[in-house]
Structure 1
């Protein structure tokens, strides 16, 4: 067979793999956000408080993030295709259970198991891209599509969730995953090839200590909103989480085959990307959570109107993500990342000024438009930096760590800002006046998270890179 024909066949196969990977990741992100605009309906259906309502997200994201590294390691040992199929099957089945859940307890448990499915599936999708697409321009382009899918999936999920909750039922948002999952399982079985496997063991102790430790940390933060920091439950949960996480890092430093190789933190660029990603997701998940409550609670939007109300965010997210490859080629990955976070800061700061008298166009839509550009431009550079310079044997672990930062950042951020929201309660205000005041306080917390992310990008990535270029320029001038 001629080389040209072989190349064309490989290119076609890569496109099929890319389509399956992006569609699978799209379903995961769609599921994460589709519930957002349906939260008020879920609250009414199961009679939940704001603190209890946050566990609709946290049960999923904690399990997702907590088991991510184990899922990534399983891909290395068992095979990426096999784990992809297992994760997608588990995700699809639990989507059916959630859609039919008769009570809140069933939903919380099923959401946690669904998060486990996503924890197996997500690192498989990212590592498949790293395997099929070589490092450089080809992988950058593929990862930009991956990042764009994250932004688009999250954004469309907000609109779809509002439509389902308003016109039908919030349950449809989960039930729709079932036929999509079946189609992807068939396509994955036909198209994907099994990756090379490595010999080794599963780091069960690492997985358990990290997952339970992070769950207790988030639990202590969330419960402090209602029980207070002086509560025995809050304090014991916090102490236990610190002990378990300390055991986790100590164990990982000694383990022969850790789920989190600590050498991944040897790169200043990757560390900056992980920290910035956590703060970015903390701010953005909270932005979604509180924006839907502001639109439906203060502005009195219906779920459908709230879903459509996110369009000023969705549209610029799409266009900004499409611009990332060209911008990265022209300006560099770090510069694009910094620009994106400046947009996020400006948009969230403007959004934090909302009051009960704010109208949708000026108070919400314009800030969302600015935030959308930042969101679409941030994910690609963060993903590229998170897997930059990783050895082939660490591809799965690095992919898992990127997704861990993504999911745990969202859980921790939302938990912290739920506490900020509750702490902003004041006896002088009530009704919509109080709700708007509390949401504004939560938005201000999001702004500070973005400020922290910008600081990490500058200190760990941008300034050192700029300084190296400056020293090289000075040296070349001196030599000439």
Structure 2
């Protein structure tokens, strides 16, 4: 059930949940720039430094589907608020960390509460803007924030690290959450799935362990794809996810109704979202390395140098909003990845002596414009036709596609980087530039795949996907 909101309050809902999305997405990258200082301050080993990133992705990716169903059953506003408060407390814990273990635990807690927060926020947006032109605008804004968040994290991380301290890359979340909580209590209305809802405990355990094993396996793959431990975790993750799908076909109230992902258009959108997420996270990370290590920029300079990407996304997004109802999602979601692929190909020509203005800036502007064409329709298409009772679960899949895609993509890009670097060392700028170039080419190939998926899987118009009837037959309960 849900409480209808006056139309003028819906835009305040959009502002609140978009702020939340910004916090969740930028927190995946804001710490990256601060890691060198954090490592020196806390005496982190290289292994612990890696876990500062992995712990967030692991907890976030593993718990997202469960978080989505908690939002559906317990209440989306209530879940949103609990997730916000928990995220703030975890951020404060990390900001005041005294040891490497403290920081890693804090990042894991951030990911766990983000797994409650993110699907609840997107589900609130879905039920607040069910149809029409306003829905297109709302999802365009939300998608733009999601697309630009990784780059915003790099910029903000550079500013905070340069002028304050690395700890503020975590403590700043408390400020964001305080603003978000005020907005949540003021404008959000409670909504939840109707009926006698019961949690799919077996499904929750299976998918959490499966996604966790997969994310951890890919994090291990960054240092060796052929190691027995990597293979064990990746194979175990796949096996558990196959078991999860089987369980969901035999459960009356599944954690993930398979109708959400088996629809061709939504399935294509989820796949494109995974690729786009991996490219945004991976390409911005390796570009930051090039700016700081090869071009010798400070953290602040590297952050500001990344700024044209989100700015271009925000400038082009309104144009994409106007085009979406006229030409449909498929042209945008096809042309956008092709533009991004072209920008990444251009970026692959970086050299040690090349200037930022010639070799980097044009690529960032074009990439930002292309990403706007991708992210504006993406969230809308991914959630089109989803029944209100499934809003949290579908939102969790959308977020999970971005998070798991980012983890997998980053592992693949790292493997490409290692192979391209070969026997050279990180002290050789020419070799580094060549290795970074290889990762940009790999990312460009990924975006070409996304364009093919858009052509073959995205139907139009999006309005063809209508909510499933509430009396749709449900599978019999196991046993």
Select 1:216's aligned residue among 184, 202, 213.
213
- The 3-state SS of whatever aligns with 1:254 is coil
- The 3-state SS of whatever aligns with 2:98 is coil
Give the distance between the partners of 1:228 and 1:68, measured in 2 at CA: 26
Give the distance between the partners of 1:374 and 1:253, measured in 2 at CA: 38
Select 2:73's aligned residue among 56, 77, 98.
77
Give the distance between the partners of 2:43 and 2:454, measured in 1 at CA: 42
Give 1:234's aligned residue: 230
Q: For each residue in 1:199-249, what CA deviation from the matched residue of structure 2 results, as whole angstroms up to 9, or x when unmatched?
A: 2222233233223223322333332343450x3322322232222222222
Q: 1:405: how far off?
A: 0.6
Select 1:371's aligned residue among 344, 360, 367.
367
> What TM-score comes out, normalization by structure 2 length?
0.89
Give the distance between the partners of 2:424 and 2:409, measured in 1 at CA: 28
Cα pair 1:341 1:450 within 8 Å, conserved:
yes
Select 1:102's aligned residue among 84, 98, 105.
98
Matches within 5 A, 1:7-406: 10-45=6-41, 53-198=49-194, 199-229=196-226, 231-406=227-402
Cα pair 1:24 1:125 within 8 Å, conserved:
yes
Cα pair 2:340 2:447 within 8 Å, conserved:
yes
Give 1:443's aligned residue: 440
Cα pair 2:88 2:174 within 8 Å, conserved:
yes
Q: For each residue in 1:133-157, what CA deviation from the matched residue of structure 2 results, as whole angstroms up to 9, or x when unmatched?
A: 2312121111111112223433332
RMSD: 2.4
- The 3-state SS of whatever aligns with 2:32 is coil
Distance 1:74 1:428, change over 3 A: closer
Q: Would you say 1:431 and 2:428 are equivalent positions?
A: yes
> What TM-score comes out, normalization by structure 1 length?
0.89
Q: How many residues align?
A: 458
Give the distance between the partners of 1:318 and 1:40, measured in 2 at CA: 30
- Any stretches of 5+ residues in structure 2 without a counterpart? 465-479
Q: 1:272: how far off?
A: 0.8
Cα pair 1:161 1:307 within 8 Å, conserved:
yes
- The 3-state SS of whatever aligns with 1:202 is coil
Give 1:474's aligned residue: none
Give the distance between the partners of 2:49 and 2:411, measured in 1 at CA: 11
Give the distance between the partners of 2:365 and 2:454, measured in 1 at CA: 23
Query: Higher helix share goes to which structure?
Result: 1
- Any stretches of 5+ residues in structure 1 without a counterpart? 1-6, 469-480
